[in-house]
Amino acid sequence: MQNSPGQRGFTLVELLVSLSITSMVLLASAPYLSDWTYSRQIKDANSKLLSAYGLAKAMALRNPEAAPAAAPAAGIKVVTGASTRAVFVCRGDPASAACDTGGANMLWSADFPAAISMTLGGSSVTSSSAVTVAINNRGVPTSGSVYEYTLSRGGSANDVSRSLL
């Protein structure tokens, strides 16, 4: 029986060679894909933190609670749980119990990937403590200092260190 030219296909050897080349390319690109994933998670967390601070600052400048100059008019609170890290924006003092999931003063919240490690204002955000930034009615932190923050995941090449202004 003769095969006509239109009925040819891949031989088993050709198929195995192409699969091995494809697997080598995928193995070689794996470190770059994980680095891209880490970088994307950092950028996402950075965007959410800056959005939270901007919203809290806008709320503090509006000052709907008529807070005096020395008192917090709004703020952000960064908390961690078993599998997530979240940032909350609240009216009034962010350290109060009303600034939490379902709290009366909570305005907005966003989740960070749990694998992101964060330092805010010199304090590491861990599962045992929340870190807050209170903002007065002039739109500046009540502590009078600039809050530096660092987000890291997967090595120093992906770290972000900035300040909240």
pLDDT at 69: 87
Q: For residues 152 and 117, what is the distance between their CA atoms, to the nearest angstrom?
A: 5
Tens of pLDDT, residue by residue over 14-72, are 999 999 999 999 888 888 887 888 888 899 999 999 999 999 999 999 998 899 988 99
pTM over 0.85: no
pLDDT at 84: 66
Domains of the chain plus CATH, in order, are 33-164 (3.55.40)
106 touches 88 (CB < 8 A): yes
Identity (one letter) of the amino acid at 116?
A: I
Q: Considering the chain, what percentage of its residues have pLDDT values greater than 90?
A: 48
Q: For residues 112 and 78, what is the distance between their CA atoms, to the nearest angstrom?
A: 10
Please state the rounded mean pLDDT for residues 83-90: 85
